[in-house]
Amino acid sequence: MLNSFSSFHYVAFLLLLGSLLLNVQHDHVDNVFGASKQHLLLLTAHPDDECMFFGPTILALTAAEVNHTVYSLCLSSGDADGLGDVRKKELGASLDVLGVDRGRRAVLDEP
């Protein structure tokens, strides 16, 4: 019961945070994250979390008028069903679209 209760609150928090960040306009992102260029780390548990939960935020942070440096660290390859290699490629393609440079990404694949 505690695990499902915690998971529910975690998902609710992410949805609330995402909806708040969706309301941030590109020209106001500097005010939220500071006037100077920032270096930010996106930490996700598995491939697809970057687009499901943080897509609009990453797009706002990597937009040309803001152009913060975003790094991505994914803590697993999502290989539960033997699709780890496929999911890593999908993660790379997603990060390409979101504007995270190839040299600023890593996937940990520890058992």
Helix (H) or strand (E) holding 57: helix 49-62
Check the CA dihedral 61-109-81-11 and report its sign: negative
In residues, how long is the chain?
111
Question: pLDDT tens digits, residue range 77-89?
Answer: 999 889 999 999 9
Q: Supply the pTM of this predicted model.
A: 0.68
Average pLDDT value for residue range 102-110: 91
Distance in angstroms between the alpha carbons of the first and the last residue of the chain: 26
Check the CA dihedral 18-22-26-27 and report its sign: negative
**Per-residue model confidence (pLDDT) at position 73:** 94
Mark 38-76 as b/e (b = at least 16 C-beta within 10 Å): beeebebebbebbbebbbbbbebbbeeebebebebebeb
**Per-residue model confidence (pLDDT) at position 25:** 46
How many Å apart are CA 30 and CA 7, to the nearest integer?
Answer: 32
Question: pLDDT tens digits, residue range 17-68?
Answer: 555 555 444 445 545 555 578 899 999 999 999 999 999 999 999 998 887 9
